[in-house]
Structure 1
Amino acid sequence: MILLSSLDFSLPLRNPVVIFSLVLFIILFAPILFHKIKVPHIIGLIIAGVIVGPYGLNLLKRDSSIVLFGTVGLIYIMFLAGLEIDLAEFKRNRMRIFVFGMLTFLFPLLVGTLASYYLLGFGFLSSLLLASMFSTHTLVSYPLLSRYGVIRNRAVSMTVGGTMITDILALLILAGVAGMTKENVSTAFWLQLTVSTMVFVIIVFAVFPLVIEWFFKHFEDGVSQYIFVLAMVFLASFMAEAAGLEAIIGAFFSGLVLNKFVPHESPLMGRIDFVGNALFIPFFLISVGMLVDITVLIRGWGALKVAGIILFVALLTKYLAAWCTQKIFKLSPLEGKMIFGLSSSHAAATLAIILVGYNIIIGETASGEPIRLLNEDVLNGTILLILVSCGVSSFVVESAAKTMAMKEGRET
Structure 2
Amino acid sequence: MELLRDLTLILLATTIVGHFSTRIGVPAVIGQLLVGVVMGPALLGWLKLTSSLESFAQIGVIILMFIAGLESDLQLLKRYLKPSVLVAILGVIVPVAGSYLVAVSYHLPQTESLFISVIFAATSVSISVEVLKEMNALSSREGTTILGAAVVDDVLAVVILSVLVSTTGTAVGGHASGNLLITTLLQVIYFAAIYFVVRWLAPYLVKIGNRLLIPMGPTLMAIILCFGMAYVAEVVGLSDVVGAFFAGIAISQTDALSEVDRHIEPVGYAVFIPVFFVSIGLNMDFSGIGKQLGFIVILTVVAVLSKLIGAGGGAKLAGFSWDSSLAVGAGMVSRGEMALIIAQIGFAAKLMGAARYSSIVTAIVLATLIAPFLLRLTMNRVTKGQRDRSKVRPVGEN
Indicate whether the TM-score tops 0.5: yes
Question: Given that residues 311 and 385 in structure 1 are in contact (C-alpha distance below 8 angstroms), is that contact kept between their aligned partners in structure 2?
Answer: yes
For 1:380 and 1:263, locate their aligned partners in 2 and report how far apart those are by CA, in whole Å.
Answer: 44
Structure 2 residue identity aligned to 1:389:
A
- The 1:248/1:16 distance shift into structure 2, 3 A limit, reads closer
Query: Which moves more between the two structures, 218-227 or 19-28?
Result: 218-227
Query: Structure 1 CA distance, aligned partners of 2:265 and 2:4?
Result: 25
Q: Return closer, same or farther for 1:391/1:61 CA change in 2, 3 Å cut-off.
A: closer
1:137 and 1:347 in contact (8 A); partners too: yes
Q: Which runs of 5+ in 1 are unaligned?
A: 1-13, 362-372
Specify the alignment match of 1:397 in structure 2. 375
How far is 1:44 from its partner? 0.6
Q: 2:39 aligned with 1:61, yes or no?
A: no
One of 227, 233, 248 as aligned partner of 2:220: 227
The answer to whether residue 362 in structure 2 is matched with residue 359 in structure 1 is no
Between the aligned residues of both structures, percent identity stands at 23
Q: Pick from 186, 189, 194: which aligns with 1:196? A: 186
Residues 36, 294 of structure 1: CA spacing in aligned structure 2 closer, same or farther, 3 A cutoff? farther
Provide the aligned length of Structure 1 versus Structure 2.
382
What residue is the counterpart of 2:117 in the other structure?
131
1:87 alignment partner in structure 2: 74
Quickly say closer, same or farther: Cα 1:359–1:320, change in 2 above 3 A. Answer: same
2:283 match: 291
Q: Report the Cα offset of residue 21 of structure 1.
A: 1.8
**Deviation string, structure 1 residues 373-394 (Cα, Å, up to 9, x no partner):** 3233432222222332222211
Corresponding letter in the other structure for 1:375: G
Instruction: Supply the distance in 1 between the matched residues of 2:13 and 2:200 (Cα, whole angstroms).
Output: 41
Question: Counterparts of 1:234-273 in structure 2 under 5 Å?
Answer: 234-261=227-254, 266-273=258-265
Cα deviation, residue 403, structure 1: 5.1
Structure 2: give runs of 5+ residues left out of the alignment: 172-176, 391-397
Q: CA deviation at 1:37?
A: 4.5
Give me the whole-angstrom Cα distance separating, in 2, the residues matched to 1:175 and 1:156.
29
Distance 1:253 1:386 in 2: 26
Match of 1:366 in 2: none
Measured in 1, the distance between the counterparts of 2:191 and 2:322 equals 35
Q: Retained in 2: the 8 A contact 1:204–1:236?
A: no
Give the direction of change, closer, same or farther, for the CA distance of 1:378–1:15 in structure 2 (3 Å limit): closer
1:155-234 correspondence to structure 2 within 5 Å? 155-182=142-169, 189-207=179-197, 209-220=199-210, 223-234=216-227
Give the whole-Å Cα distance in 1 for the aligned partners of 2:130 and 2:101: 34
The residue correspondences of 1:284-363 to structure 2 (distance < 5 A) are 284-298=276-290, 300=291, 303-361=292-350
Q: After alignment, is 311-320 or 168-177 more displaced?
A: 168-177
Shift of 1:208: 5.8
Structure 1 SS opposite 2:120: helix
Matched with 1:383 is 361
Inter-partner Cα distance in structure 2 for 1:279 and 1:91: 33
Q: Report Cα offsets for 1:166-225 as digits up to 9, x if no partner.
A: 2212112222222223588xx992321133223323433314642322232343366222
Structure-2 change in CA distance of 1:280 and 1:128 (3 Å): same
Q: Distance in 1 between matches of 2:140 and 2:313?
A: 19
Indicate yes or no: 2:9 matched with 1:31: no
Give the whole-Å Cα distance in 1 for the aligned partners of 2:9 and 2:255: 34
In 2, distance between residues paired with 1:351 and 1:59? 22
Whether contact under 8 Å (1:137, 1:349) holds in the other structure is yes
Task: Report what 1:275 is aligned to.
Answer: 267
The answer to whether the Cα contact below 8 Å between 1:307 and 1:380 also exists between their aligned partners in 2 is no
Q: Which has more radius of gyration?
A: 1
CA RMSD, aligned part only?
Answer: 2.6
Deviation at 1:307, TM superposition (A): 0.8
Cα 1:190–1:288 shift into 2, 3 Å: same
